[in-house]
Chain A
Amino acid sequence: MSQEPNKRKRLLYITDQQEYADNGAIGPLFNGYLKEYCDVHIVYFTKYKNSFQAKEHDYIVPKQYKKEICRYLTAKDVDLYSFDFVFVRNMFDILSDVLNNRDKYGYKVGYRVSFPKTLQASESRKANNTNTLFGSIRSYFDIASKKHLLSQCDLFMPTSKDMEEKFYADSGVRSFPLPAGLDPARITPHKKSEGDACHFIYVGTLDSLRRFEEILVAFRKVTSKNWHLNISTFNPQFAREVMSRYHTIADTVTILEAFNLNELMKQIDDCDVGIALLPNIPIYSTTVSSKIMDYYTCAIPAMLTDNPKNRTLFDDNDALFCDFNEASIVAKIEQIINMSDEEIAKMGTAGQNKLLSHKRNYKIMAQKLYEELEKL
Chain B
Amino acid sequence: MTQNHYDVIIIGGGVSGAALFYELGRYTTTKSICLLEKYGSLASLNSNGSANSQTIHCGDIETNYTLEKAAKVKRTAKMVEKYCLSHGYEDKVIFSHQKLALGVGHEEVNYMRHRYEEFKTLYPYLKLYTKEQLAEIEPAVIFDKDGKERPEDIVGIGAQGEYTTVDFKALSDTFIDNTLKIKDKITDIFFNNEVKQIQKIGSTYHVQTTMSQFTADFVVVDAGAHSLFLAHKMGYGLDYGCLPMAGSFYMGNRKILNGKVYMVQNPKLPFAALHGDPDILVSGFTRFGPTALMLPKLERFKPGTYMDFFKTLRLDWTVLKIFYDLFKDADIRNYVLKNFMFEVPYINKKLFLQDARKIVPSLSEEDISYAKGFGGVRPQILDKKNQKLMLGEASINTGEGIIFNMTPSPGATSCLGNAVRDVEAICKYLGLEFDEKLFNAELVDEEPTKGENL
- Residues on A with C-beta less than 8 A from B391 are 50-51
A60 touches B (CB below 8 Å): yes
Find the A residue at minimum CB distance from B104: A237
Find the B residue at minimum CB distance from A238: B106
From A41-49, A92-100, A176-184, give the one contacting chain B.
A41-49
Q: Would B268 and A64 count as touching, CB distance under 8 A?
A: yes
Residues 43-80 of A, flagged 1 when their CB comes within 8 A of B and 0 if not, give 00011111111000000101010000000000000000
Residues 257-271 of B, flagged 1 when their CB comes within 8 A of A and 0 if not, give 000000011011000
Q: Would B267 and A236 count as touching, CB distance under 8 A?
A: no
- Residues on B with C-beta less than 8 A from A46 are 267
How far is B66's CA from A271's CA once the two chains are assembled, in angstroms? 38
B105 touches A (CB below 8 Å): yes
Q: Would A237 and B153 count as touching, CB distance under 8 A?
A: yes
Find the A residue at minimum CB distance from B118: A20
How far is B115's CA from A47's CA once the two chains are assembled, in angstroms? 13
Q: Would A53 and B66 count as touching, CB distance under 8 A?
A: yes
Residues 75-105 of B, flagged 1 when their CB comes within 8 A of A and 0 if not, give 0000000000000000000000000000001
B322: min CB distance to chain A, Å: 14
A234 touches B (CB below 8 Å): yes
Q: Would B264 and A48 count as touching, CB distance under 8 A?
A: yes
- Residues on A with C-beta less than 8 A from B50 are none
- Residues on A with C-beta less than 8 A from B114 are 19-20, 259
Find the A residue at minimum CB distance from B267: A50
Find the B residue at minimum CB distance from A259: B113
Q: Would A49 and B64 count as touching, CB distance under 8 A?
A: yes
Q: Would B68 and A51 count as touching, CB distance under 8 A?
A: yes
A136 touches B (CB below 8 Å): no
- Residues on A with C-beta less than 8 A from B64 are 48-50
Q: Would A47 and B67 count as touching, CB distance under 8 A?
A: no
Tell me which residues from 413 to 453 in chain B have a Cβ below 8 Å from any Cβ of chain A: none
Contact-residue bracket for chain B:
20 to 34
Tell me which residues from 159 to 184 in chain B have a Cβ below 8 Å from any Cβ of chain A: none
How far is B426's CA from A206's CA once the two chains are assembled, in angstroms? 62
Contact-residue bracket for chain A:
20 to 34
How far is B105's CA from A53's CA once the two chains are assembled, in angstroms? 25
Find the B residue at minimum CB distance from A48: B111
A257 touches B (CB below 8 Å): yes
B385: min CB distance to chain A, Å: 13
Q: Would A49 and B106 count as touching, CB distance under 8 A?
A: no
B65 touches A (CB below 8 Å): yes
How far is B66's CA from A47's CA once the two chains are assembled, in angstroms? 12
How far is B108's CA from A237's CA once the two chains are assembled, in angstroms? 12
- Residues on B with C-beta less than 8 A from A236 are 106, 153
**Which listed residue (A18, A64, A237) contacts B106, Cβ 8 A?**
A237
How far is B111's CA from A19's CA once the two chains are assembled, in angstroms? 9
Find the B residue at minimum CB distance from A50: B267
A325 touches B (CB below 8 Å): no
B110 touches A (CB below 8 Å): yes
**Which listed residue (B66, B152, B153, B329) contacts A49, Cβ 8 A?**
B66
Q: Would A49 and B65 count as touching, CB distance under 8 A?
A: yes
- Residues on A with C-beta less than 8 A from B303 are none
A261: min CB distance to chain B, Å: 13
Find the B residue at minimum CB distance from A64: B268
How far is B110's CA from A240's CA once the two chains are assembled, in angstroms? 17
Find the A residue at minimum CB distance from B103: A48
A252 touches B (CB below 8 Å): no
> Could you write out 26 A-B pairs with CB less than 8 Å apart?
A18-B111, A20-B111, A20-B114, A46-B267, A48-B63, A48-B115, A48-B264, A49-B65, A50-B267, A50-B391, A51-B66, A51-B68, A51-B391, A53-B66, A53-B68, A60-B66, A64-B329, A234-B106, A234-B110, A235-B106, A236-B153, A237-B105, A257-B110, A259-B110, A259-B113, A259-B114
Additional A-B contact list (16), CB under 8 Å, known A47-B267, A49-B63, A237-B153: A20-B114, A46-B267, A48-B265, A49-B65, A49-B267, A50-B65, A50-B267, A50-B391, A51-B66, A51-B68, A51-B391, A64-B267, A64-B268, A234-B106, A236-B153, A237-B106
